Amino acid sequence: MLVMKGIVKQFPGVRALDGVDLDVRAGEVHCLLGQNGAGKSTLIKVLAGAHQPDEGTISFNGAEVRPGSPIDAIKLGFATIYQELDLVDGLSVAENIFLGHEHARLGFVNRAAGRRAAREVLERLGHPEIRPSAEVGRLPPAAKQVVSMARALSHEARLIIMDEPSAALAHDEVANLFRIIRELTAQGVAVVYISHRLEEIREIGDRVTVLKDGRTVAVGLPARETPTQRIVSLMTGRNVEYVFPPRGGREPGEEVLRVEGLSSPGVFGDVSFSVRAGEIVGLAGLVGSGRSEILEAVYGARPATGRVLLDGRPVRRGVVGTVRRGMGLAPEERKAQALLLDQSVTANITLGTLPGFARFGWIDRKRERAEAQRLSELLDIRPPDPERPIRTLSGGNQQKAVLARWLLGGRKLLLLDEPTRGVDVGARAELYAVIHDLAERGIGVLLVSSEVPEVLGLADRVLVLREGTVIHEGEAGELDEHAVLDMIMNGRAA
Amino acid sequence: MGEPTTKAAPALPSIRGIGEMRHLGLLGALALLVVVGLITRPENFATASNLVSILSLAATIGVITVGATFVIIGGGIDLSVGAVMALASVWATTVATQSYGPVVVAICAILVGTGAGLLNGWLIAYGRLVPFIATLAMLVAARGLAQRMSDRKTQLISEGNFSIVELSTTRLLGIPLLVYIFALVVVLGWILLNRTTFGRRTYAVGGNPEAARLAGIDVRRHSMLLYGLSGLCCGIAAILIMARTTTGSSTHGDLYELDAIAAVIIGGTLLTGGRGTIVGSILGLLIFTLITNLFILNGLNTSDQLIAKGLIIVVAVLLQRRNLKERAP
Ligand SMILES: Nc1ncnc2c1ncn2[C@@H]1O[C@H](COP(=O)(O)OP(=O)(O)OP(=O)(O)O)[C@@H](O)[C@H]1O
Ligand SMILES: [Mg+2]
């Protein structure tokens, strides 16, 4: 149905796509795999009309097409869910869904019709609870993801492109997403699906195309049968052990963080726990169970009642104070909450610990750059040039920079919210090693992840959250994935 | 103009060059205006006295533009600059202030400017007023207060304080001292913006306030300081205008806010914050001043001059948009 041949896309200083081929059949789920920065997002932006290719041809149903703008692409029947959310925060859910193709007559928007149609799409997505009139800026990230999915579905598309749609979704939401994808493909719609989670590819994918450094290295592999080893080595060019570093050998020290009776009405209630130096504590729970909100409250970025003590002394509310006392938060939504897109990688990495690089306000740029360089290398941020604007990095590489920010400046406690969101398999193993290393050096880590295996594999101790309350606390080694999933979904204690 | 071409050779480290390339465009525009001046008025454009008058004219708004650049990069806007400068000039030239001598006159102008700026900042950062509204209110109120204090009369600088006026009459290498003050403000502004934590935070606060907050920056305090800085620049500008005109008056600096904001925009600073440069703003300002000068030298009327300026703003913004589009997703 769709054939792309020899696509080349050049950015200043990088050849993001260097002759990529892709062929997608009607009614299939075609997965696009590749390391961070391999060119996946760029390829789909070419399809979506957001980038113009320098070379190569695209044909759709036999005819050559050239989507010159996003509008062209939509007219062709291509709908796209971008990796970075592209919603207008100030508009309502319904307005966002129908942005550009409003229910209108003679230029007057028919809001009632728009809301009705929005409700229908949202129901189809299994989210009747999202109100069409709600302001998008106030929704949690997962709901935003649903809205951008609803937007793609609102076009009568024949090809739907999804760039890491599951990165912001929890387990049950992903199941929901898959149900919709199956409905679509049954109607003959083709889906191009990008994800770094191989299990998902196995479950939903039909065929796989692998990109490496802007080139196609494998086309049309069967998604279910191809061994993981082979896929990973195609992606990375080496064999990566997709495992967690061994636990043990680490003896947690003094208590760094103590949280007592932390509550925020309607979000979470009476949460108490502690984190010791050199200990990794994981928070497992569904999106909306209050995980991220608890991190923000501990960090002082969100009002809450209760006590938060760092090193035995209560912290004052307000991020300025907690950062000064040695906390750091890597937030969930990198684009909205963490990044300065126009600034260099260096400036983004050092933002939280800038005073440490300055004397009387004067920044020691040499030292700053050297540290940024060191961290880029440690986390393998690509391209390895910290002076580039961070906007030009791929999603996964931006995520590494978000983490890098708090590896500096003697933190005592790190709050990591979805630290590996959008990071590829190879780099993930490296990030795990880095997090372990932090703990080894005596830093306390509080970790939130939608991926239960990640929480279990990385954490020493796990708190299971459901609807804002802690329903279980235990050693990670004594839990398995099923038990945790059962608890977070059904509230049954182990 | 300076936008990244998609066909650049792979090895070009061009990303870093973009900023400078845009400045090249501005320099080109400036050069063009100079050529126009040389052709249309060969006898009096390139004279020392004309160049000095261009620079002295640019100096006052220039100092204000430096402050405005900070505020706009920080995601705000300051409409009150002209009025605050007028108020500072009036306050500094009251009989009472002048009786203490020139140093106090200068300090008074600076304190009034900074105070008004901090008040703006406080209302915006802690009172949660929209910058546009808060500074609009300050514009009106500061002008009103200036009129009241001066009884709508122009206040002359007394003989005893003539060292203020000497800033414009004394020359070093043929250039009046006030131009050096302008240059000094530009250099200090550049250093503050590019080499210090304050500058880095200004970009952060303007570019993504939520990210700045979560990175542990005191966003509110920083915003307040930005308006204070703008006020400080207005105070310095007040000294310069007193030097140039030998007066303090409630009518000084009328519509300076528009010129300053226009210069910043032409210089490539985004009104949405987070991006921009001092050098760009100063080049934008010089372009603006040069146009005024050319129109005056050629005896064209001021309405045409305004139309030309309007066009330039539009063209500059259109070029910026093209720059942005290249980088959009
Ligand atoms: N606007 C841009 N300007 C310059 N370089 C860019 C731009 N956009 C992307 N690149 C570069 O192109 C390459 C491919 O990026 P792309 O976003 O397509 O990667 P990806 O495969 O989607 O990675 P990820 O899994 O991290 O999302 C990267 O090296 C990136 O730095
Ligand atoms: Mg991507």
Tell me, what's the pLDDT at B37?
Answer: 87
Residue A464 CB neighbour total at 10 angstroms: 27
Rounded to an integer, what distance in angstroms lies between the CA atom of residue B326 and that of residue A51? Answer: 9
Confidence of residue B1 (pLDDT cuts 50, 70, 90): very low
pLDDT in tens, A216-235: 999 888 988 888 888 888 88
End-of-domain residue from the set A235, A270, A296 = A235
Domain hosting residue B144, numbered range:
59-256+269-274
Tell me, what's the pLDDT at B230?
Answer: 98
How would DSSP label each residue in A116-134?
Answer: HHHHHHHHHTT-TTS-TTS
- On whether both A218 and A346 belong to a single domain, the answer is no
**Is A483 part of a structural domain of the chain?**
yes
Place of tokens 């009327």: B301
DSSP-derived letter for residue A389 is B
Confidence of residue A248 (pLDDT cuts 50, 70, 90): low
Percent share of chain B, pLDDT over 90: 57
- On whether both A186 and A278 belong to a single domain, the answer is no
How would DSSP label each residue in A59-122?
Answer: EETTEEE---SHHHHHHHTEEEE-SS----TTSBHHHHHTTTS--EETTEE-HHHHHHHHHHHH
Rounded to an integer, what distance in angstroms lies between the CA atom of residue A363 and that of residue B197? Answer: 6
pLDDT in tens, A430-474: 889 889 988 988 999 999 998 888 899 999 999 999 888 999 998
**Is B115 part of a structural domain of the chain?**
yes
Which atom from ligand 1 is nearest to the alpha carbon of A42?
Answer: 18
Tell me, what's the pLDDT at A286?
Answer: 83
Rounded to an integer, what distance in angstroms lies between the CA atom of residue A481 and that of residue A457? Answer: 10
Confidence of residue B22 (pLDDT cuts 50, 70, 90): low
Confidence of residue A317 (pLDDT cuts 50, 70, 90): confident
Confidence of residue A104 (pLDDT cuts 50, 70, 90): low
- On whether both A213 and A349 belong to a single domain, the answer is no
Confidence of residue A261 (pLDDT cuts 50, 70, 90): very high
| Cβ–Cβ gap A352/B212 under 8 Å | no
Mutate to test the interface with A, among B197, B201, B320, B325 (most CBs of A within 10 A): B197
When mean pLDDT is compared across A110-119, B19-28, B205-214, B245-254, the lowest value belongs to B19-28
- On whether both A179 and A268 belong to a single domain, the answer is no
* Distance from the alpha carbon of residue A391 to the mean position of ligand 1, in angstroms: 9
Tell me, what's the pLDDT at B114?
Answer: 97
* Distance from the alpha carbon of residue A382 to the mean position of ligand 2, in angstroms: 13
Q: How far is CA A122 from the centre of its chain?
A: 22
**Is B89 part of a structural domain of the chain?**
yes
**Is A270 part of a structural domain of the chain?**
yes
- On whether both A486 and A423 belong to a single domain, the answer is yes
**Is B202 part of a structural domain of the chain?**
yes
End-of-domain residue from the set A235, A265, A299 = A235
**Is B251 part of a structural domain of the chain?**
yes
How large is the average pLDDT for residues B289-294?
88
- On whether both A295 and A333 belong to a single domain, the answer is yes
End-of-domain residue from the set A207, A235, A263 = A235
Domain hosting residue A204, numbered range:
2-235
How large is the average pLDDT for residues B301-305?
82
**Is A250 part of a structural domain of the chain?**
no
Chain B closest-CA separation from residue A104 CA (Å) = 27
**Is A159 part of a structural domain of the chain?**
yes
**Is B315 part of a structural domain of the chain?**
no
Q: A127 pLDDT exceeds 90?
A: no
- Split into its structural domains, chain A has a count of 2
**Is A247 part of a structural domain of the chain?**
no
Tell me, what's the pLDDT at A89?
Answer: 82
Q: Is the pTM higher than 0.95? A: no
Tell me, what's the pLDDT at A107?
Answer: 67
Helix residue ranges, H only, chain B: 14-40, 48-73, 81-92, 95-98, 102-125, 131-150, 162-169, 177-195, 197-207, 209-214, 219-245, 256-266, 278-297, 302-327
**Is B81 part of a structural domain of the chain?**
yes
- Split into its structural domains, chain B has a count of 1
| Cβ–Cβ gap A329/B211 under 8 Å | no
Higher-pLDDT residue of B119, A114: B119
DSSP-derived letter for residue B158 is P
Confidence of residue B10 (pLDDT cuts 50, 70, 90): very low
- On whether both A345 and A230 belong to a single domain, the answer is no
- On whether both A141 and A229 belong to a single domain, the answer is yes
- On whether both A219 and A343 belong to a single domain, the answer is no
Nearest residue to B269 (alpha-carbon basis) of B182, B189, B210, B184: B189
How large is the average pLDDT for residues A247-254?
76
pLDDT in tens, B239-284: 999 999 999 999 999 989 999 999 999 888 888 888 899 999 999 9
- On whether both A330 and A469 belong to a single domain, the answer is yes
- On whether both A161 and A121 belong to a single domain, the answer is yes
pLDDT in tens, A36-62: 999 999 999 999 998 999 999 999 998
CATH number of residue A451's parent domain: 3.40.50.300
Query: What's the mean pLDDT when you consider all of chain A?
Result: 88
Biggest CA-to-CA distance, chain A: 71
**Is A241 part of a structural domain of the chain?**
no
pLDDT in tens, B34-73: 898 888 888 888 888 888 888 988 999 999 999 999 999 9
| Cβ–Cβ gap A340/B201 under 8 Å | no
**Is A244 part of a structural domain of the chain?**
no
| Cβ–Cβ gap B208/A336 under 8 Å | yes
Q: Which of A15, A42, A44, A344 to mutate to test the pocket of ligand 1 (most atoms within 8 A of CB)?
A: A42
How large is the average pLDDT for residues A202-217?
92
Place of tokens 């990030």: A431
Confidence of residue A493 (pLDDT cuts 50, 70, 90): low
Tell me, what's the pLDDT at B327?
Answer: 46
For residue A192, the one-letter residue type is V
**Is A245 part of a structural domain of the chain?**
no
Rounded to an integer, what distance in angstroms lies between the CA atom of residue A162 and that of residue A424? Answer: 16
Tell me, what's the pLDDT at A144?
Answer: 84
**Is B297 part of a structural domain of the chain?**
no
Q: Are B142 and B231 in contact (CB under 8 A)?
A: no
- On whether both A269 and A347 belong to a single domain, the answer is yes
Q: A245 pLDDT exceeds 80?
A: no
pLDDT in tens, B189-240: 999 999 999 999 999 999 999 999 999 999 999 999 999 999 999 999 999 9
